[in-house]
Amino acid sequence: MPASETIHVDGVWRAATSGATRAVLDPADAQTLQMVAEGGVEDVDAAVLAAHRAFAGGQGQWPRTPASERAALLRRVAGLLQRDREEIALIESRDTGKTLEEGRVDVDDVTNAFNYFADLVVNESGGRVVDAGSPDVHSVVVHEPVGVCAMITPWNYPLLQASWKIAPALAAGNTLVIKPSEVTPLSTVHLIMLLVEAGLPAGVANIVTGAGVPVGARLAEHPQVDLFSFTGGLASGTTAAQSAVAGAKKIALELGGKNPNVVFADACATDVAFDTAVDQALNAAFIHSGQVCSAGSRLIIEESVRDRFVTELARRAERIKLGRGTAEGVECGPLVSQQQLDKVAGYVASALAEGAKLRCGGSRPEPSEQRPATGYFYAPTVLDSCHRDMSVIREEIFGPILTVEAFHDEEEAVALANDTEYGLAGAVWSGDTARARRVAARLRHGTIWINDFHPYLPQAEWGGFGKSGIGRELGPSGLDEYRESKHIYENLKPEPVRWFAG
């Protein structure tokens, strides 16, 4: 297909109805990677109609396909993802700026998600018999697909976020329309090609590339969409959800985070433990240049070890090798866009004006062969002496900025870590197991790591407390988001009830 035919509706790849296109840029040098279709409302309407017809009120080919066959298709997709692993990792690296190795990890994680939901739907496809209190009643709860699912994804983990929605939705028998971020649509286009190659019937999975408004907004409000699933920022997510709620759709929101990494002094008792805690704090904050919803962007550290810890952290942060994600030896890529670069620089300026102390970074790095001057690079930055009144502590920055706050006792550590309107993820580091578990139990976040940061499992729910979202992805709940429950009550011995005398 020609490069700009990135809209897939009812089994056909095509350009936007309007003919409009958009340049997708390589964030390492701001050069055009590929032209893609810039969809509009008419393209969304066509895609939703295709998905609606393919669902056909639950009587379409896909919703009526047995769970074992749907699972087999998901496993074929997993195989194709592994076949194309290097190609997809390269697409993701060039589109998002992340390193090639991170791109490979993403493809493996996406493969795991497809295999996980394939297994889960087979194991969970039977109904649940419930006791109706009478031997003459057979009562069973079964699951059915919801219908047409609209999916909107962000630019930081485009393929991964798409798979957490597409895999369970297809496993459950739904049809869908996905709109990837206009900044990084390429890997999702490739995924839809793999679904087609795996044999998914026409109209079941459709993609419309284009902007949040109008494409995403139209998906949110479209009357024939039954479920609206959004991953992205708080502002756009809540705006879009309002029109979805007005149409009484099911909604799922995966929004931002402001994630604490709580380090007790007893986690640094030996040189080895100190090295591990510093290394992981670095990883928590700076992997993918901090453009991670669960980034450990708030270091909350016990005062007695603060100076030693932050000094070593800043020393290592300064040595992170920044450059084009595909270049050999590069550890961190650029930010995704000029807009993101400006936002990050603005937050650093405001923090410094409010009294934060710069321990490293705070500017763009010198250009080099691996770092073109036109790329959106920003140096890993550590801001010490931060406090809750600063916007860098309260708002999600989504960049390579680590803030430091100090605490004196366990109570203060918990209070600081929970002092956020978000609640996506957080970590506690302690050499005292009882204390680590006590603190973990009190943290109000959807994922808590003890003496670790960032790992997640497809079989464990992912999602947030507070303003980090509504609902869960992954795990059994991640499948349930895409299923309706239906109670079938069967009276084996019907008799008159005589409620009315007549």
User: Which alpha helices (DSSP H) does 287-373 contain, by range?
Assistant: 303-318, 338-353
Residue 398 interacting with ligand NAD (CB under 6 A): yes
Tell me the chain's radius of gyration from C-alpha atoms: 24
Q: Enumerate residues 1-30 that contact ligand NAD by CB under 6 A.
A: none
The nearer residue to ligand NAD, 221 or 384, going by C-beta atoms, is 221
Q: Which stretch, 35-43, 65-73, 215-223, 490-498, contacts ligand NAD (CB under 6 A)? A: 215-223
| Binder among 151, 240, 436, 448 for ligand NAD (CB under 6 A) | 240
* Maximal CA-CA distance, the chain: 92
Residue 325 burial by Cβ neighbours in a 10 Å radius (0-12, 13-18, 19+): buried
The nearer residue to ligand NAD, 407 or 449, going by C-beta atoms, is 449
Q: Which stretch, 87-95, 233-241, 379-387, 482-490, contacts ligand NAD (CB under 6 A)? A: 233-241
Using CA atoms, how far apart are residues 93 and 425, in angstroms rounded to an integer? Answer: 25
The nearer residue to ligand NAD, 301 or 424, going by C-beta atoms, is 424
Residue 469 interacting with ligand NAD (CB under 6 A): yes
| Binder among 257, 325, 372, 426 for ligand NAD (CB under 6 A) | 257
Segment (H or E) for 425:
strand 425-429
Q: Which stretch, 95-103, 231-239, 307-315, 479-487, contacts ligand NAD (CB under 6 A)? A: 231-239
| Binder among 60, 63, 256, 380 for ligand NAD (CB under 6 A) | 256
Per this entry, what is the length of the chain? 502
Q: Which stretch, 89-97, 115-123, 153-161, 372-380, contacts ligand NAD (CB under 6 A)? A: 153-161
Q: Please check whether residue 457 is in contact with residue 113, taking contact to mean a CB–CB distance below 8 angstroms.
A: no
Q: What share of residues in the chain are helix, strand, coil (percent, to 5)? A: 40, 20, 40
| Binder among 16, 47, 217, 413 for ligand NAD (CB under 6 A) | 217
Q: Which pairing describes strands 447-450 and 425-429: parallel, antiparallel, or unpaired? A: parallel
**CA dihedral of 439, 440, 442, 448, whole degrees rounded to 10:** 140
Q: Enumerate residues 79-138 that contact ligand NAD by CB under 6 A.
A: none
The nearer residue to ligand NAD, 147 or 257, going by C-beta atoms, is 257
Q: With contacts defined by CB under 6 A, how many residues of the chain interact with ligand NAD?
A: 33
CB of 8 to ligand NAD, least distance (A): 16
Residue 418 burial by Cβ neighbours in a 10 Å radius (0-12, 13-18, 19+): middle
| Binder among 424, 439, 448, 474 for ligand NAD (CB under 6 A) | 424
Residue 209 interacting with ligand NAD (CB under 6 A): no
Q: Which stretch, 216-224, 346-354, 408-416, 494-502, contacts ligand NAD (CB under 6 A)? A: 216-224
- Where does 20-164 show beta strands of DSSP type E? 21-26, 31-37, 128-130, 137-145, 148-152
Whether omega before 214 lies within 30 degrees of 0, making that bond cis, reads: yes
| Binder among 44, 107, 220, 305 for ligand NAD (CB under 6 A) | 220
Residue 296 interacting with ligand NAD (CB under 6 A): no
| Binder among 236, 261, 289, 381 for ligand NAD (CB under 6 A) | 236
Residue 201 interacting with ligand NAD (CB under 6 A): no
Using CA atoms, how far apart are residues 406 and 375, in angstroms rounded to an integer? Answer: 35
The nearer residue to ligand NAD, 223 or 494, going by C-beta atoms, is 223
DSSP string, 2-26: -TT--EEETTEEE--TT--EEEEEE
Q: Please check whether residue 277 is in contact with residue 267, taking contact to mean a CB–CB distance below 8 angstroms.
A: yes
Residue 254 interacting with ligand NAD (CB under 6 A): yes
CA 454 to chain centre: 13
Token output for 72: 């087999």
| Binder among 176, 268, 293, 299 for ligand NAD (CB under 6 A) | 293
Segment (H or E) for 406:
strand 401-407
Residue 155 interacting with ligand NAD (CB under 6 A): yes
The nearer residue to ligand NAD, 240 or 267, going by C-beta atoms, is 240
Catalytic residue among 254, 302, 312, 410: 254
Closest of 217, 198, 200 to residue 208, by C-alpha: 217
Residue 47 interacting with ligand NAD (CB under 6 A): no
Using CA atoms, how far apart are residues 335 and 28, in angstroms rounded to an integer? Answer: 8
Residue 189 interacting with ligand NAD (CB under 6 A): no
**In whole angstroms, how far apart are CA 218 and each of 19, 135, 147, 152, 235?**
19, 50, 17, 11, 17
Catalytic residue among 149, 293, 332, 386: 293
CB of 498 to ligand NAD, least distance (A): 55
| Binder among 130, 141, 213, 457 for ligand NAD (CB under 6 A) | 213
The nearer residue to ligand NAD, 256 or 296, going by C-beta atoms, is 256
| Binder among 60, 97, 212, 325 for ligand NAD (CB under 6 A) | 212
Q: Which pairing describes strands 381-384 and 401-407: parallel, antiparallel, or unpaired? A: parallel
Mark whether 293 is an active-site residue: yes
What are the catalytic residues?
A: 254, 293
Site residues, ligand NAD (CB under 6 A): 152-157, 161, 179, 181-182, 211-213, 216-217, 220, 231-233, 236, 239-240, 254-257, 293, 396, 398, 424, 464, 468-469
